[in-house]
Amino acid sequence: MLNKALPVDKAAPMLDTSTPKWVFLQLLESCNLRCKMCFEWGDNGSYKDKPELKKLDSGIVMQIIEDFKESRPYYELYGGEPLLYPQIDEVLAAIKHYGSGVHFPTNGTLLERHAEMLVEHAPERIWVSLDGPEEINDAQRGAGVFQKAMRGIRKLYELRESKGAMYPKIGISTAVTPINWKHLERFYFESLDLSMLDCISVELQQYVTQERYEAYASLLHREFGVPWAPIARGFISDPARFSEIDPAELARQLKRIEQHCGERQMYFNAYPKVISEENIRNYFTANWHKVTNMKKRCVFPWISTEVNARGEVTSCHNFYDLTLGNVYEQSLKEIWNGQRYKEYRDYLRKNLFPICPGCCLYYNEKPRI
């Protein structure tokens, strides 16, 4: 899952990086689905090899929220499946209490059960991961998932409207894969009731070639003393897997969805940001250097941080193999301003990790750092 709220302002002044603007919390590793393309639990997912699944201690989560109450960062909650976290209501209540915004993705299967709680604690946005019409979505995510998610969306929407509440905004997040790319138009205009939705995000499936993964694993060992990179291994895919995707047809569908959102004044997000036949072709053939908005470096190490379910502090999902500290040993503030984080940023000022181009979020406008 990806951040849908990266700021865009070419004329913005240099950012204050003394505290993170976004804090991502992987509340737990467990998930109740096995989506085929998921780097955690999918066909190549690395989490299936873990002998024990972890969840982030709720006391640690509360301490992080307390520590950053003055700077009020945005929070994004992840899993696994965030709605499986036993104290999810307490986490949402604490974030709201201190005036921060919070988004999170969900597979939607538990929305109906938690709808009352979600309207009460009112996260700003909930992104429901759905990838196509019922038969396509369920081929990718599991039998019965589509109908469970749709029941959850409807109940959440109806409760929100009955209470006259503004939040949570409800969004659909779609990962474009070889399974669903032909069906996006039918999904959005025939399978969904768009009147219940506030936002849409469509993202090309993240992946990395075997060659780039090996270069990345070698770099981590050489530069940072990390012996191996099992998490990033979940991103490995041969570009040949995407060869049947027609870039022109996919671009046409995405532009129609974007146009419809513009006409309805509905928030629309796409990654890569610029929708074009050429960008889609270059992305799925691993010619990443040709994709529009290709940057020399990523902004996230300077504006966001992530704590995984084991307490390890990282920069983003792709970098779970590189630990910059652990919140069971130091506070997140100390780690954010610590020596290892500094060395990590110093490296990325001048270099690009080999797996960075495989992240569709990388092709975006960004603030100056």
Contacts of 257 (CB under 8 A, 6+ apart): 184, 185, 188, 200, 202, 268
Element (H, E) at 279: helix 277-284
For residue 228, with 0-12 CB atoms within 10 Å meaning exposed, 13-18 middle and 19 or more buried, which class applies?
exposed
Instruction: Place 4 in a pLDDT band, splitting at 50, 70 and 90.
Output: low
Structure confidence by residue, pLDDT tens digits, 74-84: 999 999 899 99
Contact 55, 78 (CB under 8 A): no
Choose among 318, 268, 275: nearest CA to 298.
318
Structure confidence by residue, pLDDT tens digits, 19-74: 999 999 999 999 888 887 776 767 777 777 777 889 999 999 999 999 999 999 99
Choose among 205, 212, 210: nearest CA to 283.
205
15-29, 266-280, 338-352: which range is least confident on average? 15-29
Q: Are strands 304-307 and 267-271 parallel, antiparallel or unpaired?
A: unpaired
Structure confidence by residue, pLDDT tens digits, 296-326: 778 889 999 999 999 999 988 767 899 999 9
Contacts of 291 (CB under 8 A, 6+ apart): 272, 279, 282, 283, 357, 363
Query: For residues 130 and 326, what is the distance between their CA atoms, to the nearest angstrom?
Result: 33
Query: For residues 328 and 60, what is the distance between their CA atoms, to the nearest angstrom?
Result: 8
Q: Where are the beta strands (DSSP E) in 132-256?
A: 169-176, 199-204
Contact 195, 153 (CB under 8 A): no
Element (H, E) at 75: strand 74-78
Please work out, in degrees rounded to the nearest 5, the angle formed at the alpha carbon of residue 49 by the alpha carbons of 110 and 234: 75
